[in-house]
Amino acid sequence: MSDQPAAADAPSNPGPGESSQPAEPSKSALKKAQKDKEKAEKKAAIKARELAERQKKEAADAADVSKDSYGELPLCGSKDFKPTGTPRANLSASDAADNEDKEITFRCWVENARVQSAKLAFLNLRQGLDTVQAVVAASEKLSKQMVKFSGNVSTESTLVVTGLVKRVKEPIKSASIKDFEIHITKLFVEVAAEVPLPLQVEDAERPLPSEGVGEEEEKQDESSGRPLVTLNTRLNNRTIDLRAKINHAIFVIKSGVCTLFQEFLSQKGFLLVQTPKILGAASEGGANVFELKYFDRPAYLAQSPQFFKQMLIAARFQKVMEIGPVFRAENSNTARHLTEFTGLDLEMEFQEHYHEVMAVLEDLMLFIFKELNARFKKETDLVRSAYHVDEFKLPESGKVPRIPFKEGIAMLREAGEELNDYDDLSTPQEKHLGRLVLAKHGSDFYTLDQFPLAIRPAYTMPSPSDPLLSNSYDMFMRGQEICSGAQRIHNAALLAQQMRTHDPPINPNGPGTKDYVDSFRYGCPPHAGGGFGLERIVQFWLGLPNIRMTSLFPRDPQRVVP
Amino acid sequence: MSDQPAAADAPSNPGPGESSQPAEPSKSALKKAQKDKEKAEKKAAIKARELAERQKKEAADAADVSKDSYGELPLCGSKDFKPTGTPRANLSASDAADNEDKEITFRCWVENARVQSAKLAFLNLRQGLDTVQAVVAASEKLSKQMVKFSGNVSTESTLVVTGLVKRVKEPIKSASIKDFEIHITKLFVEVAAEVPLPLQVEDAERPLPSEGVGEEEEKQDESSGRPLVTLNTRLNNRTIDLRAKINHAIFVIKSGVCTLFQEFLSQKGFLLVQTPKILGAASEGGANVFELKYFDRPAYLAQSPQFFKQMLIAARFQKVMEIGPVFRAENSNTARHLTEFTGLDLEMEFQEHYHEVMAVLEDLMLFIFKELNARFKKETDLVRSAYHVDEFKLPESGKVPRIPFKEGIAMLREAGEELNDYDDLSTPQEKHLGRLVLAKHGSDFYTLDQFPLAIRPAYTMPSPSDPLLSNSYDMFMRGQEICSGAQRIHNAALLAQQMRTHDPPINPNGPGTKDYVDSFRYGCPPHAGGGFGLERIVQFWLGLPNIRMTSLFPRDPQRVVP
């Protein structure tokens, strides 16, 4: 297609073929001719103006020594886009040091850009958790136009930048790379961000105003005077919110906990399994379960992989683990409940005593804590410093405090709490016990063993030492439960009996229970296990005020979007 | 409490205190005395019989030199159970060799047990994928009673066995440990299996009779003459079915594929993420989606993590991966469809061309195949040999065939298939193409690139070379699709336009789409990714006839239990 605009084809002057047959025009024809003429003149004027502008721009371009060094790139993947093949650098303090005085090209995004003067612009550029200061300075080789363009790039745009890595004399406070800055030679906007942003990323970096859910009152940050954006506003704009470094750090740690969980257990011979999330019948009592339409019948979402992981032990898989979503239709609007969260589950046969399994669970968590400190210190420090959270204390002996439930009750009583031997602990009592254990044993992590039978699920093995107790345990971080586990009953007759006498009773021959109970008829070995809440581990490791911060797109009774 | 039975307290002879006050008895008292006497005599007779039996048993026990070396253990975890602290050995060929002529104690279960003679019993014992032959031979130190007890243990019972590891002269065909057998010295039934079993594990070892689903006709195995148990029967008794070695091998490999997927991508810097499975609105068109009751409103199960993993790229997580359940309400009753399966998903930004991402996907799969051969050869061979499946061929060059869709169409046409340039391929055509590619390139694994735009999702980036094509790709194993992927549109305006003109059209401002589309307004970098079906990778790697075999508890339109 020609570059000539379509307007140029309009018949402002009759063509040669038309003028060869002159004829007296009618009145209406004259009127039309007049109109056509006016139209043509208007078009000619527009054309002339466009031409003048184009020429002016071309002249400016000709004068702009940097005209090929900045601008907007066409959409990547489109016809106009030509790959350059230029190697792309990483942005980090060590990469910067390696490239001192060299020119590098890298993708980054704009934390902010500002024009300092006609000859100078500054940008803060980010890649991952790293930020660097960049300078665009006018010179013989770099035009003022480019300075102006660069300083006006919208915040959060994605760029491809080329520049020299230069050491600075004074450390740069505002960037994570403090000893180097980038002297930009080329700057292309790869993807422009629209303005205004629905949420400023720097506002998402600041700690949450309060623990509350649905807290709508906007407060101010005391030091910066900027608004403290509520959790709801952040979650409504989660894609922007998640860009905050503090959020990146949280999810790097969450990914790390998963990886460490698997790494430790794989080495112990655990098999990674996937059990169904759609169930033909509500299994564990029927309360707090989401119902769905499964073709022409009802079905239910799994509240845990409990029955299935035990059936796999019955199927002779000696040690199994699963990482997967669990669904709880609990209408709990608290800072530590989600309706969908990630279960870290494991189940294993043991040889003679369920404490063999507790030892595996304790060693597992000690491994995770140790490796979080070793591999994710930067991320941990970044988050804890924002929330002024204490270090997570582990026992110097390396031995996890393992406290019989009865002893826990006694400690609480001694500290003034009123409760009986077989009472369940309230959340405040759990937190109180956490403080007592920390004071006595110097550990933020501990296990309570031998819980009262009446407050545990029907499949829990009663304790041989006291029929009112059970071979079951919970694990706590900073006084809050992160894991519940037990030896399970591996005998069908005893299991059925316990289900029938449970409060509320469960029918062992029901559609959701019969296959489960039957699987213990054919030689299932003794076994125990536990289920951890991944989000809680992350929340309490970091000392975060709200569990929603540890879920990418949290689900609670009020929220199912985005 | 005394050991003396309560019956001994009955007044068969009046006690000294009673005889000190004689008195004339009444008629009714006489009658009563007569009755009491009869009762007492009966009780005495029972007591005498019990005593005789007890004495006989005690005599037998006294004569039974092995009486402390066999029997049934009480329920582990119960009051009577005393841990022994005896170290437990593993059962494998190398462990056996290490323990030659030594006595070991191990837990195992009974494949079968038989009494050969009054003095000799044989057992086949299993632990994991290993089996060993065990002998119970009467001697001065080992009673005939123990031989009888051992040979009559029910199949699938769990045992704790102590015995000497002895080298044999002739390799034992029926066991995986061929050069050693166990000379049993102690045998305890830890958990007895009920009889009869609803399914024999040895029947579950045999290949499936046919590809059919719901195939009810029982066939016979030609060599053994035993019934070929249908898939439905096996799945109805899945806990027993899964005990088969062939099933253990399948799920060891499945666990392996997950681990290898994560291992490779972690090293490349991918973050493991968890995206929500409960959605507030059906996102991808609304078809084939399960609806659930979410408190007082409807919600939906995620058909893929597609929207979320892209939103995470927009949130500047540069590379993300997820392993999680995906739910499809498709009424497809075929050998390769499930309503719930495991998605291996990944998404990453790329620098200049989406082929950067395809290269990662291809390298990922080559790594998985190579490591499956290295780490899981035993399991792979075990399954493939049962189904007479060919080795999985990989290109000798190490380069995965990457075939433009158009070229694939041309190959099929040349081979006699009738189809147009922009037609989708049917399943038989895909399989046909797989054979053609294998013949031409020597590879069971390959990629088709540049699919027609019209048959791809609305978020697919159109191709710069042909507006009817797109920057999208599928990957195939043995001619069947295991992965679908593409460059995604990272520009909100273009995405909205493509959604509106898609067939069927999608509203870009709908409750399930607006947040997604909006996330591309603020500088999202170019990105591409793909989603693998974990079960399909396992199915086609092993050459299995039905995908249900690769799911622990498969879900299809007909099946939601167990």
| pLDDT tens-digit readout, A251-299 | 999 999 999 999 999 999 999 999 999 999 886 666 899 999 999 999 9
Q: With contact defined as beta carbons under 8 Å apart, do A243 and A156 qualify?
A: yes
Q: Are B390 and B543 in contact (CB under 8 A)?
A: yes
pLDDT in tens, B80-98: 888 889 999 999 999 999 9
| Contact check, Cβ <8 Å, A281/B561 | yes
Residues 454-493 (B) with a CB less than 8 A from some CB of A: 461, 464-465, 471, 487, 490-491
Q: Which residues of chain A are within 8 Å of residue B497 when distances are taken between CB atoms?
A: none
A268 touches chain B (CB under 8 A): no
Helix axis angle for A245-267 and A534-542, nearest 10°, is 120
Where does B73-174 show beta strands of DSSP type E?
Answer: 103-117, 120-127, 130-137, 158-167
Active site residue A536: yes
3-state helix, strand, coil in chain A (%, to 5): 35, 25, 40
A524 touches chain B (CB under 8 A): yes
Model pLDDT, residue B51: 83
The Cα-based distances of B34 to B9, B15, B22 in angstroms read: 18, 17, 17
Q: Which of A284-298, B46-60, B235-249 has the lowest mean pLDDT?
A: B46-60
pLDDT of residue A58: 73
Catalytic residues of B: 328, 330, 336-337, 481, 484, 536
What is the spatial distance between Cα A532 and Cα A288, in angstroms, rounded to a whole number? 19
Average pLDDT over residues A328-350: 96
- B391: exposed, middle or buried (Cβ count in 10 Å: 0-12, 13-18, 19+): exposed
Q: Record the tokens describing residue B118, joined without a space.
A: 């009054």
Is the Cβ of A522 closer than 8 Å to some Cβ of chain B? yes
* CA separation for the pair B258, B237 (Å, rounded): 26
Instruction: Suggest the residue from B253, B275, B316, B461 to mutate for an interface test with chain A (most A CBs closer than 10 A).
Output: B316
A128 beta partners: none
The interface pTM score, or ipTM, of the predicted complex is 0.89
Taking the C-alpha atoms of residue A488 and residue A517, their distance in angstroms, rounded to an integer, is: 12
Q: Tell me, what's the pLDDT at B45?
A: 81
Q: How far is C-alpha A290 from the chain's CA centre? A: 24
DSSP single-letter state for residue A212 = -
Mean pLDDT, residues B187-211 taken together: 91
Domain B93-191, CATH:
2.40.50.140
Cβ within 8 Å, pair A352-B83? yes
What amino acid is encoded at B288 in this protein?
A: N
Query: Can you tell me the distance from the alpha carbon of B523 to that of B543, in angstroms, rounded to the nearest whole number?
Result: 44
Domain limits, chain A? 93-191, 246-550
Contact B327 A560 (CB under 8 A): no
Cα separation of A273 and A262, whole Å?
A: 11
CB crowding B154-185: b at 16 or more within 10 Å, else e: bbbbbbbbbbbbeeeeeebeebbbbbbbbebb
The answer, yes or no, to whether residue A71 has pLDDT greater than 80, is: yes
Mean pLDDT of B443-462: 97
Amino acid B295 reads F
Whole-number CA gyration radius for chain B: 34
pLDDT at A10 over 60: no
Classify the phi-psi angles of B322: left when phi > 0, otherwise alpha if psi is within -120 to 50, otherwise beta. beta
Residue A293: its pLDDT value, please?
A: 96
pLDDT digits (tens, 9 = 90+) for B128-149: 999 999 999 999 999 999 999 9
Half-sphere exposure of B69 (CA within 13 A, CB side): 19
- A330 flagged as catalytic: yes
Phi/psi of residue A506, nearest 5 degrees: -120, 135
Query: How many alpha carbons lie under 13 Å from residue B140 in its C-beta half-sphere?
Result: 0
Residues in chain A: 562
State the architecture of A246-550 in CATH terms.
Answer: 2-Layer Sandwich (3.30)
Taking the Cβ of residue A318 and every Cβ of chain B, the question of whether any pair is shorter than 8 Å is answered with yes
CA dist A301 → A467, B86, B239 (Å):
33, 43, 21
Q: Say if residue B17's pLDDT is above 60.
A: no
Q: Give the count of Cβ contacts less than 8 A between chain A and B.
A: 277
Whole-structure pTM value: 0.89
Q: Exposed, middle or buried, A117 (CB in 10 Å: 0-12/13-18/19+)?
A: exposed
- Check whether A12 has a pLDDT greater than 60: no
Confidence of residue A31 (pLDDT cuts 50, 70, 90): confident
pLDDT at B517 over 60: yes
CB atoms within 10 A of CB A53: 10
**What are the residue ranges of helices labelled H in A213-339?**
231-236, 238-241, 245-267, 306-314
Q: Which of A101, A94, A156, A149 is nearest to A125 (CA)?
A: A156
pLDDT at A189 over 70: yes
Per-residue confidence (pLDDT) for residue B475, from 0 to 100: 98
Q: Is A316's CB within 8 Å of B109's CB?
A: yes
- Of residues B432 and B216, the one with the higher pLDDT is B432
- The verdict on A445 touching B (C-beta cutoff 8 Å) is no
Out of A243, A328, A527, A548, pick the active-site residue: A328
CA-nearest residue to A352 within chain B is B83
**B352/A85 Cβ within 8 A:** yes
- Please report residues of B whose CB lies closer than 8 A to that of A274: 254, 325, 342, 534, 551-552
Widest Cα–Cα separation across chain B: 124
Indicate the range of A19-23, B272-276, B371-375, B390-394 predicted with least confidence. Answer: A19-23
Helix axes B377-387, B355-375, angle to 10 degrees: 90
pLDDT of residue A183 exceeding 80: yes
Confidence category of residue B285, pLDDT binned at 50, 70, 90: low
- Between strands B271-272 and B278-279, the pairing is unpaired
Residue A171 CB coordination number (10 Å): 9
Residue A132 φ then ψ, to 5°? -140, 150
User: Active-site residue among A330, A340, A371, A417?
Assistant: A330
Q: What is the mean pLDDT of residues A514-526?
A: 97
